[in-house]
Amino acid sequence: MERHFFKELENLKMTILNMAALTQRALESATTAYLERDEQLGQTVIDGDKKINALELEVDQYTLKLLALEQPMAKDLRMILGTAKISNELERIADQAVNISERTQFLSKYPPLNSIPAMEQLIDVSLSMYKKAVSCFVNEDVKAAYEVRKMDDRADQYTLEVLQTLVEYMVKNTPATERRRLNTRRSIQTIIISRCLERVCDLSTNIGEHVAFITQGINIKHQGIDAEL
């Protein structure tokens, strides 16, 4: 007979995966809404956040219950502590998606800025890092956790490029006062979006680190970026 506790652990894992799927959808919708200037799609992200918040609370309660009632040991213990942390990261990633969508609501009302290649690259790398982080949890793949960490350098680089491009634009391109104000506002909103994406990358890196803790009981948080297994 399978132990009741193992079913509970499986449930916990399913709840996290559910949360991860909703968060992925939020992130994809938020970035698509930004790129396609789709206010309605952005609104679905804002509306959908409640569900993710509720799941985070559910995971908190569930992990507390399992710790108190089952007194888990070794990997089971690490799994429970790790999922509590991962659900926290997911909730924060979903918040970033909401933040991006709110900026998009503003930006969509005005003509688009010139396209910024680094921004598109940043969106790509954020989504890949996020997906890799989740798959690293699903497959308990610590190698993938290191790969996520390595991608974070690129994310930082793109974020910097977005900032530089837009600062340049704000300073140089707009003589007339009214126009300058609008350009500045659009640029700043866009910079905020790039910051949100950069946070998504950091939080995805954290997820990978929690997976390393769950699977091997090791802490890779403050090791050099080139550290390997």
Instruction: Report the candidate in 15, 6, 85, 100 with the shortest Cα–Cα distance to residue 49.
Output: 100
Q: Which is nearer to another protein, 9 or 59 (CB)?
A: 9
Candidate segments 25-33, 71-79, 91-99, 125-133, binder of another protein by CB under 8 A: 71-79
Q: Which is nearer to another protein, 9 or 197 (CB)?
A: 9
- When asked if residue 1 is in the footprint of another protein (CB under 8 A), the reply is no
Q: How far is residue 220 from each of residues 16, 216, 224, measured CA to CA in Å?
A: 22, 10, 9
Q: In this chain, which of 71, 139, 157, 173 binds another protein, going by CB under 8 A?
A: 71
Q: Which is nearer to another protein, 74 or 176 (CB)?
A: 74
- When asked if residue 61 is in the footprint of another protein (CB under 8 A), the reply is no
- Report d(CA 52, CA 169) in Å as an integer: 37
Least distance from another protein to the Cβ atom of residue 137, Å: 18
* Number of residues written out for the chain: 229
Residue type, 123: I
- Report d(CA 4, CA 22) in Å as an integer: 27
Q: If you search the block for the tokens 């802490």, which residue do you land on?
A: 219
Q: Which tokens in the block code for residue 93?
A: 């990633």
Q: If you search the block for the tokens 């640029």, which residue do you land on?
A: 187
- When asked if residue 10 is in the footprint of another protein (CB under 8 A), the reply is no
Instruction: Report the candidate in 92, 95, 97 with the shortest Cα–Cα distance to residue 34.
Output: 97
Candidate segments 15-23, 46-54, 75-83, 184-192, binder of another protein by CB under 8 A: 75-83
Least distance from another protein to the Cβ atom of residue 225, Å: 24
- When asked if residue 72 is in the footprint of another protein (CB under 8 A), the reply is yes
- Binders of another protein among 87-106, rule CB under 8 A? none
**Residue ranges that bind another protein, judged by CB under 8 A:** 3, 5, 71-78, 216-217
